[in-house]
Structure formats: C-alpha cells, structure tokens
A and B are shown apart, each in its own frame.
Chain A
Amino acid sequence: MAEYKYTAADFKSDQQVKWCPGCGDHALLNAVQRAMPEVADALDVPHERFVFVSGIGCSSRFIYYMRTFGFHTIHGRAAAIATGIKVANPDLSVWVCTGDGDSLAIGGNHFIHAVRRNVDLNIILFNNEIYGLTKGQYSPTTKLGTITKTSPYGTVEHPFNPGELAIGAKATFFARTVDAEVGLTKELLVAAAKHRGTSIVETLVNCMIFNNKTHAGFAADKATRAEHTITLRHGEKMLFGADLRRGLVLEGLQLKVVTIGEDGYTEEDVLTHDAHCEDTTLHRMLAAMKYPDFPVALGVIRDVSEPCIYDRAVAEQVEQVRSQSKIRSMDDLLMSGETWSIE
C-alpha cells in the first residue's frame, strides 16, 4: 500500500459549489473528497491519475468541484466518454458522476453497455428521481403516479430500479447508499474503487426543490433509516432495525421480513449476505426491495470477480499480437503482402 498522504483538501477545487442549499449532492461531494486519499493509497494511484467525467444535470457539475482532471461532457454520454478514456489509458482511475436522467434515460444505452463490457469505471449514480436542472420533470426513476411539471396528473409509467437494471446488464459490482450516510458512502466508494470492472454506487439523494422527501419514508433520519433500511455486509446476517431484531429470510422463491423470536424464527433462519455469489438471483431481489414492504438495501449488494475486464483485455490483446507479429512499423506493413516493382 502506497502512502501519498493526501487529504480531502487535495481534491477540492477553487470553484464555488453552486448546488442549492440542502441538496444531497453536497454530502456526496464531501464523501468523495474524503474517500479519494484512501483510494490513492489503497490502489497506488497518484493524484494526477484521477479523472472525473460527467454528463449533464445537477450532479454532473460535480467535476468542477474536484481538483483532479475533469471532463464535463454532454447529456447521457459520460459512460461512453469514460470508456474511451479508460481504454486509452487503463492506468487512470476513472470516475463517472451521473444522474438518473443522464444515465438511465438519454444515456441508458451507454450505461448498460459500459456495465456489460465491464469497463473498469466507477460510476456514482445520483438518484433523486427527478430532473432538477431543467426544473422538475419526471425521470425514469420517478415513482408511478408522481405529479411533476410534465406529469400534472401523475406519471403513468413504471420507474427503473437502477440496481435491477445494472444487475440485468451483468454488473459485477452494485452498491447503494443515501446522501446523509457520509461514512457509509465513503466506505462504498473505496470498495467500488477496489473492485476490478464496472462498479456502480447508487446514491439516493434528496432534491429539496423539485422532489423533496422522495426518499424520506425510509431515509429521513437515523431512526427511520434503522427501521427501514438494511445495510448489507458480505458474510454477515441480513438483520436490521434499531435492535437488530428483524431479518430477511427466503420463503420459497421470495424474500420475507421476519422478527426474531416471532412465529418460531431464530437468527439461524436469517440469510447471510454473500456479495461474491456469481448467481444474480438473490442480489437482484435484494436490490429490488421497496419501502414500505421491505427495508431498502444499502451497502455492497453485489461484488463478484470477473476476469474479463474490458480495458485490460483490449490492452492485453494489443500486447499479445505485438509480441507475435513480424510487422513492427508502418514501413513493414506497407511492404507486406502482395507488392510488385516497376523498374
């Protein structure tokens, strides 16, 4: 492990942060700036090798506040541009900051394909279930029936669950946090960085102005979060609640919330979280759990190792072909194959 001795201040740019007061993005910026020194040491990545890439939307302004290489691109395309950056130079630590509209609507195609390819990107998905920068239109994660400026009588379309989408697209790493849990967010960002392949950290953020309290049912305060979220940790029992008396069990092919000591359930019956399990079934079910029937799953839901990492594989093919080819230069190539001379 390297020791760069960076602090959060090394990752703060001189630009004034312009998000609305009370926006969940502030907490996330704080968590990222605190996580990066740890990432630098854990992965031996010096400051100049961090690149933050974003699309368009409130969350995409993020890159201006990081004192790293930063590229604020166009709507929906951050994952594709980041793919190019990472393939061109796999030694960079590439972070994508994107929102629910940016990456799941206009950029949905790039999002699923980056995930499918398993490019070694770290995607921070800011999910506030609304379009903020265009002032309050519904997004692909807005709950059915929500009244917004473009759905004055309520939406009539089902939202995506980003976890289900990502896992369906063969994600090798998916984690979830909420804006207020800065400590957990920081921990998940470091885990995401350590994961080789695409990692997605969905961050449930609150938009004070256009979709206030959309996550409040389960995330309003510490006490609510204790009762209505479950923080999954690999190898640990799926227990939640202030006194850890409730847990998740599998009944048939479905998850069920039980209370320890009631209906004959003991701690033994509660599932143990295996984030490294290749099979996606349980991970998908955990990611899909919805308030109020279930606790919302936080923590690392899926973290499996997959040897084919796109950017590395591209580079390895180049090296392999290079080591075996007789063609070393353009002159060699130009003179290869069928040629003839005119004297």
Chain B
Amino acid sequence: MEQNTTLLQDVVIRFSGDSGDGMQLTGTLFSETSALGGNAISTFPDYPAEIRAPQGTVAGVSGFQVHFGSHDVHNPGDKCDVLVAMNPAAMRANRPFLKPNATVIIDADTLSPEHIAKAGFATDDPIKELGLQEYNIILARITTMTREALAESSLDAKARLKCKNMFALGITLYITGKSTAHAHEYIDAKFGRKSPDVAEANKQVVEAGYNYAANNHLTHAAYTVEPSGLERGVYRTINGNVATAWGFMAASEKSGRPLFCGSYPITPATVILEELAKHKELGVKTVQAEDEIAGICTAIGASYAGSLAVTTTSGPGLSLKSEALGLAVMAELPLVVVDVQRGGPSTGLPTKTEQSDLMQALYGRNGECPVPVIAASSPSDCFHYAFEAARIAMEHMTPVILLTDGFIANSSEAWRIPKMASLPEIHPPLAVRGDGDFMPYERDAKTLARRWAVPGNAGLEHRIGGLEKNHLTGNISYEPANHEEMVRTRAAKVAAVQEDIPTQSVMGDESGDLLVVGWGGTFGHLRSAVEQLREEGKSVSLCHLNYINPLPKGLSEIFKRFSRIVVCELNKGQAAAYLRGVFPQMDFLQYNKCQGQPFSVEELKRVFNQIMSE
C-alpha cells in the first residue's frame, strides 16, 4: 500500500531488545543505510553495563536510537517515532521514549505469560498496562517467521534464532522506504568469508522481514525523509571514541612525533585504545598497561622519549592518574589525558553519561598544578579537539586534559571527511644542541614553553623530576623565591594558551534576553533547543565552551550583553561554580541534570521558556 506516504523532516527509530539480541548491530546497520542514502544522522546506544544481564528482564534491555533527517541533525532525538521491541521488557523500558502515536513493532512470540512476568508486568496484557492501545502497534511473530525463513538453512536452531534482529531491520527498512542493499553488503563483509552460511541466513532474514512488511500492508515509506542538504564533500559515519583516536593520529602526522598510547581498559573509553591498537600501519604504539597509573606513566615515559603520548580513561581512572599528571606538569612534558566521562562517583554508572569530572580535571591534583582543559562537543568534533589537545600539549609543553563523555563517545554521526592539508602544522619546540650546557628550563618568551630534549641527542643530557627545580638548570632547588617563581611560571604558561585558541563565538544574536551557556557533549541538544526557540521568535542565544582552561577571550563581553545567563550541564553545577569564580560580577543561573542521560530538547525548551517568562 502506498497511501499515507508523506515526506518528514526527521524520524527517530529506537531498536530495543535483550543485550544479546544484536540491537547495536541492527541500529548501526540502519543508520549506515540512512547515511548512505544522504540523510543526516545521529545515533545513541543505550546499553547496560552487564554483558548479558538476565534474559527478558528490564535490566537486560539494550537500546540503539537513530535520528535521521533531511536537515542538520544535532542529536539522537528525545523520543522515537518507531520503537522496535524484541520482548515485553523492551516495551516496558522504552515506554517513556515514545512520541504520541508512535509505531511500536513487537515480537509477538515473546508475549507469553513467562516473558510478560519476567518483564515485571502486573497483568497479562502489557499493551494495555502501558497504555499503548491508541498507538500503532504491529504484532509480528518475528521469532517464528525467522525460524520459518531459515527452514532450509544449515545453521543449528540457536544460530538461526540469532538472525531475528535482521527481521526487525527488514521491517524498518521497508517502512522508511530504504533498500536492503547496504545490509547485504555489510553482512557479506562481516561474515561472508569466515561463515558464508551465517551471511546467507542473515541476508535471507532481512529479506523475510522486508517482505513481511510489504505483504502485510504496512505502509511502505511511511517514515521517509529526503536526503539532507549537507555541505558538499565526502562523508563517513564516525563515533566520538574513534574520532578521538583519529584526531591523535592526525596530530602525530602533522607534528612528525610518533604516537604512543598507554591505557587501561575502562568503560566508556576503551574503544579509543582498541582503535589505536589497530593502526600500527601509521606507526602507532599502544601499551595495555597493568593499571591506570601505569597507563599514564608509560605515556609520560614515551613523552620523555619524544613521542606524542596519550592516555585514555574515564573518571575513576583519572582519579588514579592524578599524581602522575602532577609529575607531567612539573616535568613540563607534553601529554594528553582523555577522560570519557561517565556517571559517578566511584564506579557510578559506567555506561551512562555525565559531565561531573570537570572539577576533577581542573583541580584534582596536589599542589598548584594547572592543566589546560578542553572539551569536545559532538562525536565528530572529537577529532578536532583531540587534534587541538595534542597540538597545545606539544607546542606549549604541558599535559592537557581532553573531556568527552559516554554520550558523544558512543554516538555516531555523518562526518564530512577533512583533508589533512587543511589541518595546521604542529611545531613542537624540540631542543637542539647549542654552545655550553643545556638548560632544560629555559623558556620561549611568548609561550613560556621549555624545550623538548629527547634522549639520544648528544649534548642535551639533563636530569629532571618531580622535585622543585631551579628555573634554568633543572637541578633540585629548595630556594623559596625560586619555588614561587616556578609556581607563577607554570600558571602563566597555561594561561598563555589563551593567545593560541579562537575567541569565543555565540550562536544566535550577540545580545538578548537569555544566553544559554554549555560545554562539551551537551552541544547537540542545546543547539537544537536554542534554534527551535529562535524559530519561534525567542531572544535566546547559545555560548558553547570547548576551551575550559584557559577560557577563550571575549567571554566577559558576551556575558554582559544578555539579561540572563543560564549554565546548563549534566552535573550539579561545576562549570557554573567555575565561571562564578572567574567572573564574580556576573549572575549565573543554572540548569542541571544527573540521570545518566543526555538532556532532552523538550526539557531544555521548557526550562528556557520558563526563565524568559520570569
């Protein structure tokens, strides 16, 4: 049936099932198909920390949300137009994320008393209990039909059942008017060589799902969006962690310094280490260290020996690295520490997002220990800010903390691929042999960076360490005035980074009723909320921070031109407190959330409207 086909601006689909149901793969495949078809996309996986939590329970539900649109899509969307629920638990877990009149595709085979009870329903009718009667419910016997489609397959029963996620994919491709061609190619590439039987079965089931939708008069292309008007260029999809890894590799190429990563696996940062470990062809060396401390310490050693050194972690790991980070500050060695933030404190919410490590990044060390802090704001701009962090670390001879978060690390979006020629060269201040003794703490007059004296170069032999040192020779010094001078110099060196970063800009008008201030990974939601309110004629602008320490120039002037300022962040107000310290004369309102989830555009609009109406 071809009726009711209207072109939509954007559509959100959420795939949801047991954490073993393959929902992440299904979602990835669907979003790639959308991107290849020219849609703008933004995706967000939402999965539990347990690898295989008890089957059929709400705790074990794994979700993957895809937002695709004909315009710029800045976030994965608050709520979904289509929910694929592979069992009753998935229905229950995702009920809050349904738009009114959403389509819900349910595996009807799982609506057994046993499954319904496992999902914690009080009655035997989950649809009624969740109040979904008025929704567009598609009860498809996905398990049975997957089995039937594979009646001739050589796979065993268990392996056949694993294909049922592809059935769901087939249905969604049909109702969004997309072809199954990319899914076939992907399946062939993933399984084709090793297990042709598995590849064949998966492809059959995709087709079975697609044909089921066609034969049962589901509306073909009910959720179609036109290709977006994205800028011309070559695109790929990328998630924040991979973009971070690639940003470092790009900085390595531009600086001529080999890349070294010493890290310990930790959710949600591990993918950066995994990605870097893949790219030995570009000279990347990785050490999976024995612990977080060894992660940063091997990196400090590699930096001392002349590599662009990084260590990747999340909040608990940053706590463990703090002493060694102080050593890098004292020794004035370049180093990038990536903190992919997650819910805390302690083990907290490992797979959920939060922005609560800002204070730790700024201040979490003994002594006067300043470090530049940078935050990336979208999956793809992790590439840019990783590159920036590495550039600043090397050119200013300092450790730099790069903050991302679980949300942008795992989300992916379409990314216009940059040409390496368009990126700036990086010039680390390498020491060369001069007349007389080498003075390790002599500095560049402008950046105050000392020179990088790499072992293996004759005439540069010197001793450094964590003890306070003479401001020129680097020899141990307990002299009171020297310590004061060194404390001031280390602070001034970090402050001087301000000369080397862009002046702060504002999205929207340069003055007005309300200035929304955000930082890091909340950008996509804040931008959508501000843009939508501006379309409604509201006087609201967005000032989004990526450089946190030092802050960019121009902030004070921006702040003065707005009647009210609200600082929005996924913590209890850490950036707001920081800004109050830097700009004590300004009045900052704050909006905070600590639920392990990103902001929703809807809630932000509500909050901003309320502030403006007060």
Judged by a CB distance under 8 angstroms, whether B177 is at the interface is: no
With A72-B463, A84-B260, A321-B281 as known contacts, state yes or no: A91 contacts B456, CB within 8 Å.
yes
Provide the residues of chain A in CB contact with B302, threshold 8 Å: 84-85, 87-88
B420 touching A329, Cβ below 8 Å: yes
Instruction: Please tell me which one of the listed residues B235, B298, B475 contacts residue A340 in the complex, with CB atoms under 8 A apart.
Output: B235
A84–B233 touching, CB < 8 Å: no
A343 cross-chain contacts in B, Cβ below 8 A: 232
Are the CB atoms of A81 and B235 closer together than 8 Å?
A: no
In A27-68, the 8 Å CB interface with B consists of 46-49, 51, 53-54, 56, 63-64, 66-68
The docked-state distance in angstroms from the alpha carbon of A332 to that of B418 is 12
With A51-B455, A327-B282, A339-B417: A87-B287 Cβ-Cβ less than 8 Å: yes
User: Contact at B285–A87, with CB atoms within 8 Å?
Assistant: yes
Interface string of B35-75 (1 = CB under 8 A from A): 11010000000000000000000000000000000000000
Assess whether B457 is in contact with A48, with CB atoms less than 8 Å apart: yes
A87 and B458 contacting across the interface, CB-CB below 8 Å: no
Looking at chain B, what size class is its interface with the partner chain?
35 or more
User: Which single member of A47, A49, A317, A342 contacts B280 (CB below 8 Å)?
Assistant: A317
Identify the closest chain B residue to A49 (Cβ).
Answer: B456
Interface assignment of A71: CB less than 8 Å from any CB of chain B: yes
Give chain A residues whose Cβ lies under 8 Å from the Cβ of B283.
Answer: 318, 322
Q: List the A side residues contacting B284 at CB < 8 Å.
A: 318
Residues of B near A54 (CB, < 8 A) are 465
Give the number of residue pairs across the A-B interface with Cβ within 8 Å.
204
The answer on a CB contact under 8 Å between B298 and A70 is no
- With A47-B461, A82-B301: A342-B285 Cβ-Cβ less than 8 Å: no
- Tell me the smallest distance from the CB of A235 to a CB of chain B, in Å: 36
Which residues from chain A contact B475 at a C-beta distance below 8 Å?
Answer: 15, 64
Q: In the bound complex, how far is the Cα of B249 from the Cα of A48, in angstroms?
A: 29
Contact indicator A69/B455 (Cβ below 8 Å): yes
B279 in the interface, Cβ–Cβ < 8 Å?
yes
State whether the Cβ of A185 lies closer than 8 Å to any Cβ in chain B.
no
Of residues 230 through 263 on chain B, the ones whose CB sits less than 8 Å from some CB of chain A are 230-237, 246, 249-250, 253, 258, 260, 262
Residues of B within 8 A of A15 (CB): 463, 475-476
Min Cβ gap A69→B in Å is 4
B462 touches A70 (CB 8 A): yes
Expressed in whole angstroms, the minimum distance between the Cβ of A77 and any Cβ of chain B is 5
Those of A324-343 within 8 Å (CB) of chain B:
324-325, 327-331, 333-335, 337-343
Of residues 166 through 223 on chain A, the ones whose CB sits less than 8 Å from some CB of chain B are none
| A309 located at the interface, meaning its Cβ lies under 8 Å from any Cβ of chain B in the complex | no
A234 to B183, CA, bound (A): 65
The answer to whether B235 and A71 have CB atoms under 8 Å apart is: no
Q: Of B293, B457, B463, which contacts A77 at CB under 8 A?
A: B293
Is the CB of B362 closer than 8 A to any CB of chain A? no
Q: Is the CB of A83 within 8 A of B281?
A: no
User: Within 8 Å of chain A (Cβ to Cβ): is B459?
Assistant: yes
Q: Which residues of A279-328 are within 8 A (CB) of B?
A: 314-315, 317-318, 320-322, 324-325, 327-328
A110 within 8 A of B: yes
Residues of A within 8 A of B298 (CB): 80-81, 83-84, 87
- Within the assembled complex, what's the spacing in Å between the Cα atoms of A320 and B326? 36
Is A20 among interface residues, defined by CB-CB distance under 8 A?
no
Task: Report B-chain residues with C-beta under 8 Å of the C-beta of A86.
Answer: 301
Are A73 and B307 neighbours in the complex by a CB distance under 8 Å?
A: no
Of A48, A110, A330, most B-chain CB atoms within 10 Å = A330
Q: Are A337 and B304 in contact (CB under 8 A)?
A: no
User: Once bound together, how far apart are the Cα atoms of A322 and B420, in whole Å?
Assistant: 20
* Interface pairs A-B: 7 shortest CB-CB: A84-B301, A72-B465, A325-B281, A84-B298, A80-B297, A70-B463, A88-B305
Residues of A within 8 A of B (CB): 13, 15, 46-49, 51, 53-54, 56, 63-64, 66-74, 77, 80-89, 91-92, 109-110, 113, 314-315, 317-318, 320-322, 324-325, 327-331, 333-335, 337-343
10 A-B residue pairs with Cβ-Cβ distance under 8 Å, sorted by A, are: A48-B459, A70-B462, A72-B466, A84-B297, A84-B298, A84-B300, A88-B302, A330-B249, A330-B282, A334-B418
Q: CB within 8 Å of A: which residues of B?
A: 32, 35-36, 38, 227, 230-237, 246, 249-250, 253, 258, 260, 262, 279-285, 287, 289-291, 293-294, 297-307, 309, 323-324, 326-327, 331, 417-420, 455-467, 475-476
18 more CB-based (< 8 A) A-B contacts, given A318-B285, A338-B237: A56-B466, A70-B463, A73-B297, A74-B324, A77-B294, A84-B299, A84-B303, A87-B287, A88-B285, A89-B455, A110-B290, A315-B285, A329-B282, A337-B236, A338-B236, A340-B235, A341-B234, A342-B227
